[in-house]
Amino acid sequence: MKPATVWTVLSLAVSSNWPIHQLDVKNAFLHGTLSETVYCSQPSGFEDTASPQHVCRLNKSLYGLKQAPRAWHSRFATHLLSLGFIEAKSDTSLFVYHRGTDTTYLLLYVDDIILTTSSTVLLRHIIQALQLEFAMKDLGDLHHFLGMQVQRRDGGLFLLQR
């Protein structure tokens, strides 16, 4: 995620007085679908004593796989595209949605999401659509992101990073 993208989205949201919401995807890498064949040894405690030389073929991504981050991002991006979002060409962590006069910006950093939209009704609709597909925690108004504390103050944002 490019810092300039974060600052730009936050600036647009504050100048337009839009709500800025944050979400956290639970076990994000487990949602990824592998695009290649991956095998692993039998997990401890689940070995087949009759066939200890057998290996397991993975259908879904696991934490620790080098393919896991890409598989997760691809899965999430595909779902957002199906909802009508467009992936920004300047930064693959930014997704934009337009419907009539409403606009939404979604920033994704691994399993952390910042969501801002011109309509609170659309905000709720998008959150519900994401929660139907992925297990996620709604953290409410943006208060902490990438090591920064965020507070709304006097028509602006106060960012604190220790």
Give pLDDT tens digits for 97-144: 999 999 999 999 998 999 999 999 999 999 999 999 999 999 999 988
| Domain range summary for the chain, segments of one domain joined by + | 3-31+66-160
Residues 6+ apart with CB under 8 A from 64: none
Residue 80, helix vs strand vs coil: helix
Give pLDDT tens digits for 29-45: 777 777 788 888 888 88
Please tell me the pTM assigned to this model: 0.84
Neighbours of 64 (CB within 10 A): 8
Assigned architecture for domain 3-31+66-160: 2-Layer Sandwich (3.30)
Give pLDDT tens digits for 67-80: 888 888 999 999 99
Sequence letter at residue 127: I
